[in-house]
Homo-oligomer: A and B are copies of this chain.
Amino acid sequence: MLTIWLNYMVKKRKDDTTEGKILAAARKVFTTKGMAGARMQDIADEAGINKAMLHYYFKDKEKLFEVVFMEGAGEFFPRINKLFESDASLEEMITRFVEEYLDAMQRSPYLPWFIMNELNRDADTFLEKIWAAPNRPNPAKFLALIEKEIKKGNIKRISPLHLLLNLLSMTIFPFIAKPMITRNLHLDEMQFRYVIEQRKTEIPKFIMDSIRK
């Protein structure tokens, strides 16, 4: 009993346990090489442990991938959804959406890429597993809010669908195209982070300037 308590208090940091090391390694390898390109041996090497441990802690490749994937998606979707469900003003909602999204992606820059990738590879399997979850972002309320604002005459007449697409595009795309952007515009890691930081204000300003009457 005492040992349990002690163990609890002195709990190894997540990344120091074998399981943690595997997850960190898997995250890295899966997200750079994709599900198909990732090698179990690569993950084991990256984690500095024996390949058999991967199967000890996570049944097989499929399961390990799923855990890594869900871990990411589970952090992503809920906060977005919560925002869509809130009753903030349009401008506030856009501003906070961009901020939250960009922050989440700064923390896990691999995620949007990862999700798009698997979605593209095997949409059905993925969607049945993840998309059905109760935390799936539902843009309906956001679209409705735009229509309301148009009717009230607060903003220009614009297609809510295209406004939503524009918002998502400008927020997410830079992370997906990061290798292209950094290379072609000669940005290093720091500069890229800085550009993203700027976008937290640039995107909302850009949008509001466009739709404001």
Which residue of chain B has the shortest Cβ distance to A113 in the bound complex? B120
Contact with B along A126-143 (1 / 0, CB 8 A): 010001000011010000
Smallest beta-carbon distance A35→chain B, Å: 8
- Expressed in whole angstroms, the Cα–Cα distance for A58 and B202 within the complex equals 48
User: A155-178 CB contact bits vs B (8 Å, 1 = yes)?
Assistant: 010110110011011101110110
> Which residue on chain B has the smallest CB distance to residue A118?
B179
* Residue of B whose beta carbon sits closest to that of A164: B185
By the criterion CB–CB under 8 Å, are B209 and A207 in contact?
no
Check if A181 is an interface residue, CB within 8 A of chain B. Answer: yes
In the complex, the answer to whether B172 meets A170 with C-beta atoms within 8 Å is: no
Q: How far is the CA of A161 from the CA of B199 in the complex (A)?
A: 10
- Please, how many angstroms separate the alpha-carbon atoms of A181 and B202 in the complex? 24
- Contact status A168-B177, CB under 8 Å: yes
Docked complex Cα distance between A49 and B2 (Å): 68
In whole angstroms, how far apart are the Cα atoms of A62 and B173 in the complex?
Answer: 28
Do residues A162 and B123 form an inter-chain contact, with CB atoms below 8 A? Answer: no
| Docked-complex contact B37 and A166, CB < 8 angstroms | no
Q: A interface vs B, CB < 8 Å? A: 32-37, 113, 115-117, 119-121, 123, 127, 131, 136-137, 139, 156, 158-159, 161-162, 165-166, 168-170, 172-174, 176-177, 179-181, 183-185, 195, 198-199, 202-203, 206-207, 209-211
Sample of 19 more A-B contacts, CB < 8 Å, known A165-B195, A165-B199:
A32-B120, A33-B121, A34-B36, A35-B37, A36-B37, A115-B180, A116-B177, A120-B176, A123-B183, A139-B185, A159-B198, A162-B203, A162-B206, A165-B173, A168-B173, A169-B169, A170-B170, A176-B176, A209-B211
Q: Could you pull out 11 A-B pairs where Cβ atoms are within 8 angstroms?
A: A33-B36, A115-B180, A131-B183, A137-B184, A139-B185, A162-B202, A165-B170, A165-B181, A168-B177, A169-B169, A169-B173
